[in-house]
Amino acid sequence: MAKLSKEEVKHVAHLARLAITDEEAEKFAEQLGKITDFAQTLNELDTTNVKPTSHVLPIVNVMREDVAQKGLDRDVMMLNVKEQVDGQVKVPPILED
């Protein structure tokens, strides 16, 4: 597998909104390269007779019955809200124009 460049690591960090230095980018590029090299070695295993599974143990999800329940009382909940408008919680915008 191709080695990740420092620029690729910085790009992924930017997408994840992480601020990293050039030294950290070099360090992470090396570490990620080792991880992808190890993952590549798994392709050498013979999995011809291995049945695909989603989990190594035969477990099943134990789900509770989906029953509607009364939520928080709006008036009580609004006591903890910093700002509200017409009974709705007002939050700062997260998307820029």
Domain range summary for the chain, segments of one domain joined by +: 1-45
For residue 83, the number of C-alpha atoms closer than 13 Å in the C-beta half-sphere is: 3
Q: Which pair of structure tokens corresponds to residue 57? A: 């143990």
Tell me what pLDDT residue 29 has: 94
97 vs 36, more confident: 36
Give the CATH H-level superfamily of domain 1-45. Glu-tRNAGln amidotransferase C subunit, N-terminal domain (1.10.20.60)
Indicate if the pLDDT at residue 93 is higher than 80: yes
Q: What is the pLDDT of residues 17-67, one digit of tens each?
A: 999 999 999 999 999 999 999 988 988 999 899 888 887 888 788 888 889
Indicate if the pLDDT at residue 1 is higher than 70: no
Tell me what pLDDT residue 68 has: 93
**pTM over the 0.85 mark:** no
Closest CA to 6 of 23, 15, 39: 23
